[in-house]
Structure 1
Amino acid sequence: MTDQQIGPWYKQPWLWFILAPLIATVLYSTVYITASIVTNDGVVLEEYTKKAKAFHKDNRLNEAARKLGLSGTLRFDTMTSDINAELISAKGEPLPEQLQLTIGHPTKASLDINVLLHQLKPGHYAGELKNTLQGNKKLIISPINNEWQLIHEAEPPYDQIPFTFGNQ
């Protein structure tokens, strides 16, 4: 064969047949590596630390609530979007003016909902929920300064069912 019949290297079909999977692999791996570096899972709501190959849960905030003798109930009213909470300190400790309610999604931190609960009278708090709740949630009540926390795993339905926190 002569040079006129073969043509330039980049016009050879077998070359592109061999290079196409390699080029596609480089492109896909670049996209996936970029996505894994840029995105953040942010799944864990509670305090965990990793030591070697084990994960250790930090219970200091839960233990602080237990030492204060804190317990309470939480109710959602989906018709009016109200949240009502009652908090009791068995040891007579003063209760905060405001509470932070975190309604945590089990797998996506971007779907967590934070609601500020204001004290109506001692031990009684109210707030407004702007979203509808679907699926299992982790309910975390804590003061604004995050000195302690009460946690409850909640399942639907959420309407008018009291969720109990602490030692009641």
Structure 2
Amino acid sequence: MTRLMAAGAPWYRQGWPWFLMSLPAAAVIAGLATWYVAWKSNDGLVAEDYYKQGLEINRSLESQQMAKQLGVSGLLSYENGVIRLRVSAAREISFPDVLELNILSPVRAGNDRNLKLTRNGDHYEARMPPLPDGHWNLALADGAGTWRILGAELFPLKGEAALHP
């Protein structure tokens, strides 16, 4: 007989009881580690004002329909820390001096950017530090909330990004 299975040795000197106890112990340790990670990290996906956001859905859909009716579209570019937007419409409308551009992270709300683009000649622009590489959702609207166009783009931008209703 081997030393691990010696008949006269007490249980704590044998290998099998320790092996069998290590499996539930490992599960308990993994469970505690998972609980700690869940407790310490913030997923950033849950909105605190979810009820108000739910009420805004209809208003958002109406403004997107209005953008579609007006034929509003835009071309977005980013160079040297400046984001530029050329906007046009199929119908005759006057664009305001300031447009709102929301650049939203689909993963982390803390990375979202809300920019006020000001008119500079035939385009709008604003200074913006570089974004982390990846997919971003874009929402362009006039300040009054009359129209809104959405898009998604991969940053860093390669050329121009088109925004359509």
TM-score range, shorter chain: 0.5 to 0.7
Deviation at 1:95, TM superposition (A): 3.1
Q: Distance in 2 between matches of 1:35 and 1:67?
A: 45
Three-state SS of the structure 2 residue aligned to 1:76 is: strand
Q: Distance in 2 between matches of 1:134 and 1:34?
A: 29
Q: Distance in 2 between matches of 1:34 and 1:100?
A: 37
Q: Which residue of 2 aligns with 1:28?
A: 30
Q: Which residue of 2 aligns with 1:55?
A: none
Three-state SS of the structure 2 residue aligned to 1:19 is: helix
Three-state SS of the structure 2 residue aligned to 1:18 is: helix
Three-state SS of the structure 2 residue aligned to 1:131 is: coil
Deviation at 1:134, TM superposition (A): 3.4
Deviation at 1:26, TM superposition (A): 0.6
Superimposed CA distance per residue, residues 95-149 of structure 1 (whole angstroms, 9 cap, x where no aligned partner)? 36351321434xx225744141331259842112311563443222246787764
Task: For 1:1-12, list aligned pairs within 5 A.
Answer: 6-7=9-10, 10-12=12-14
Q: Which residue of 2 aligns with 1:138?
A: 137
Alpha-carbon distance change, 26 to 143 in structure 1, aligned in 2, over 3 angstroms? farther
1:134 and 1:156 in contact (8 A); partners too: yes
Q: Which residue of 2 aligns with 1:15?
A: 17
Deviation at 1:61, TM superposition (A): 0.8
Alpha-carbon distance change, 163 to 24 in structure 1, aligned in 2, over 3 angstroms? same
1:95 and 1:123 in contact (8 A); partners too: no
* Mean CA deviation greater in 12-21 or 141-150: 141-150
Q: Which residue of 2 aligns with 1:164?
A: 163
Q: Which residue of 2 aligns with 1:74?
A: 75
**Could you tell me the TM-score, scaled by structure 1's length?**
0.61
Unpaired segments ≥5 residues, structure 1: 50-57
2:103 and 2:113 in contact (8 A); partners too: yes
Q: Which residue of 1 aligns with 2:152?
A: 153
Task: For 1:44-83, list aligned pairs within 5 A.
Answer: 58=57, 60-67=59-66, 69=70, 71-78=72-79, 80-83=80-83
Three-state SS of the structure 1 residue aligned to 2:72 is: strand
Three-state SS of the structure 1 residue aligned to 2:158 is: coil
Q: Distance in 1 between matches of 2:97 and 2:103?
A: 16
Three-state SS of the structure 2 residue aligned to 1:160 is: coil
Q: Distance in 2 between matches of 1:146 and 1:104?
A: 21
Q: CA RMSD in A?
A: 4.0
